[in-house]
Amino acid sequence: MQPIKHSILAVAVAAAVTYTASSVANSGLIELQQDPNQWVMPSGNYSSTRYSALDQINAGNVKDLQVAWTFSTGVLRGHEGGPLVLGDVMYVHTPFPNKVFALDLNNEGKILWKYEPRQDSSVIPVMCCDTVNRGLAYADGKIFLSQADTTLVALDAKTGAKVWSVVNGDPSKGSTSTAAPMVVKDMVYVGISGGEFGVRGYLTAYNINDGKLVWRGYSMGPDADTLMDPEKTTHLGKPVGKDSGTATWEGDQWKIGGGTTWGWYSYDPALNLIYYGSGNPSTWNPAQRPGDNRWSMTIWARDADTGMTKWVYQMTPHDEWDYDGINEMVLVDKEIKGKPRKALVHFDRNGFGYTLDRVTGELLVAEKFDPAVNWATHVDMATGRPQVVAKYSTDHNGEDVNTTGVCPAALGSKDQQPSAYSPRTGLFYVPTNHVCMDYEPFKVSYTAGQPYVGATLTMYPAPGGTTLGNFIAWDADKGKIVWSDPEQFSVWGGALATAGDVVFYGTLEGYLKAVDAKTGKQLYKFKTPSGIIGNVHTYTHNGKQYLAVLSGLGGWAGIGMAAGLTDPTAGLGAVGAYASLSDYTQLGGQLTVFSLPN
């Protein structure tokens, strides 16, 4: 396809910047995300498909890719997420201290402005698994950043001047922020981190014009907190009942129940529903919190305007393994089981790939997307409950028992690294972990602002090999792996699918890789200066297609190097599994941009 001329892009961007009415801001953002020449939100679009209609770079010529230019962020530790591109400007973010750069694509990446917040460094040790940040949001002439200290900031997209800011949580009590915000209409949505500190999760909507709170929906608590109608909100088609967010908790445990919301958010404009996942219940010691612990580990469908919950689906009731449910919700319209569906596809930490009807919450498919998964045999399609294998249960009635050989490990068969979907192949492309663990709970007491974990973990490769990851193609109708490419380490970078029938992803050693979308055959690789845990994206400038990715080792998989940890059980068990990473890469912070030769 031919790229849209930048004179037209300038008009589109100007329209989005000039008009401030909520209806215009909403329609402007919808139009902008439909322009493949730009990358205007972290997931590429509201559906979180991470698919680009650009095809200048394709399966036939991707082998000729070259580095076009680079940019150093000046920050070490984990660089998750990726930049935004609006017209002739690229917006780049960093981990703590959460700098934002606006780069002029017309002038060799010249820095147009830089925002560098002053945050108290005491927030760093409160961040669970490195000081990452997953990106920025744009709307109505503003760039939105959720800082580590939970401050949500709106910046003028042209100048970098702060328009407004609001505090979304309290770091002294364990609340932090790592997620990229999402904008719908005249509201910006942001979640909260801190499940390992007993923070009760929530999603909050703020007005994009002044930062005023519009609504907040908690993951657990009475109906007034979770924004549920006991008769209208459903779980697998049945009403959830009164105060379902407290009924499966013992006493007031729900008040420190976890279920944080630090992942990705999707939106269906036709249904006006926001979709996201809630994380693990607190503590990691399951014996201390009997019951299903609703609504941790849950897929949520909320009304974008009011926050009212239409439906929920809890994937891992009474989680015993830290299988956070925060991974992306990919929204696609396709035939599932012989019937056209408005589908939601989700690859959960627990190792099951789920396909649901996103209108009703009906469970359609639930199958393992890594053959090593052993903690459950299958998901009962009538009840939606995984059938737990007793041998791999970590709840031993309060006894400190080391459960060995559990697959996947706590970081899951897939963590936050987002998948991609190609409408050309109908397949999902999933970066995965192939890691197992030993898990030993212990009794822990809650103190505000102190770790509330209660388990010691050791991680290692799954049985039968030494590789720690795979990059797979998945059929969400059949619930089967179509092809699988093994990787030495977990694939912690987000995928990108394109109309050129190429899929891109990054590796922990630092390689940008390109594979054939149909077969998985490797077509290209290039080693960047540091491990990649960022997400590949693409855009055009002056009619030419570019690819870009952040490299900078860190995140949970790279926490050992990022934080200087050496104990194999440190980093919540990850340090030992990835100890050899230092033989292949070092810390860094760089944007690398690729293009075909002129």
pLDDT surpasses 70 at 26: no
Number of domains in the chain: 1
- Whole-number Å distance between alpha carbons of 83 and 114: 14
Prediction pTM value: 0.95
**pLDDT in the model for residue 465:** 80
Structure tokens belonging to residue 249: 């908790």
Compute how many other C-beta atoms are within 10 angstroms of the C-beta atom of residue 105: 19
**pLDDT in the model for residue 586:** 95
Compute how many other C-beta atoms are within 10 angstroms of the C-beta atom of residue 584: 16
- Whole-number Å distance between alpha carbons of 432 and 384: 23
- Whole-number Å distance between alpha carbons of 449 and 198: 8
Greater model confidence, 589 or 398: 589
Domain CATH number, residue 142: 2.140.10.10
**pLDDT in the model for residue 398:** 75
- Cβ contact 117:147 at 8 Å: yes
Q: Which helix (H) or strand (E) is 100 found in, with range? A: strand 100-104
- Cβ contact 371:360 at 8 Å: no
**pLDDT in the model for residue 136:** 98
**pLDDT in the model for residue 526:** 98
- Cβ contact 282:257 at 8 Å: yes
- Whole-number Å distance between alpha carbons of 127 and 192: 11
Structure tokens belonging to residue 484: 């699988």
Q: Residues 127-176: pLDDT tens digits? A: 988 999 999 999 999 999 999 999 999 999 999 999 999 999 999 999 99
Closest Cα partner for 590 from 497, 512, 498, 490?
512
- Whole-number Å distance between alpha carbons of 527 and 512: 6
- Whole-number Å distance between alpha carbons of 193 and 261: 6
Is residue 120 annotated as a catalytic residue, yes or no? no
**Does residue 1 fall inside a structural domain?**
no
Mean pLDDT of 430-457: 96
Q: Residues 273-292: pLDDT tens digits? A: 999 999 999 999 999 999 99
Mean pLDDT of 41-54: 97
Phi, psi of 121 (to 5 degrees): -65, -10
* Helix 6-18 vs helix 22-33: crossing angle, to nearest 10: 150
**pLDDT in the model for residue 397:** 80
| Distance between first and last Cα of the chain | 18
- Whole-number Å distance between alpha carbons of 390 and 393: 5
448 band by pLDDT with thresholds 50, 70 and 90: very high
- Cβ contact 579:570 at 8 Å: no
pLDDT surpasses 60 at 2: no
Average pLDDT of the chain to the nearest whole number: 94
Q: Residues 459-468: pLDDT tens digits? A: 999 998 889 9
Percent of the chain with pLDDT over 90: 92
**pLDDT in the model for residue 400:** 84
Closest Cα partner for 137 from 178, 210, 83, 191?
83
**pLDDT in the model for residue 379:** 98
**pLDDT in the model for residue 320:** 98
**pLDDT in the model for residue 179:** 97
**Does residue 94 fall inside a structural domain?**
yes
Catalytic residue among 225, 322, 438, 477: 322
**pLDDT in the model for residue 22:** 43
Q: In what order do the strands lie in the sheet with 151-156?
A: 137-139, 142-146, 151-156, 162-167
pLDDT surpasses 90 at 113: yes
- Whole-number Å distance between alpha carbons of 101 and 597: 27
The range of the structural domain enclosing residue 456 comes to 6-595
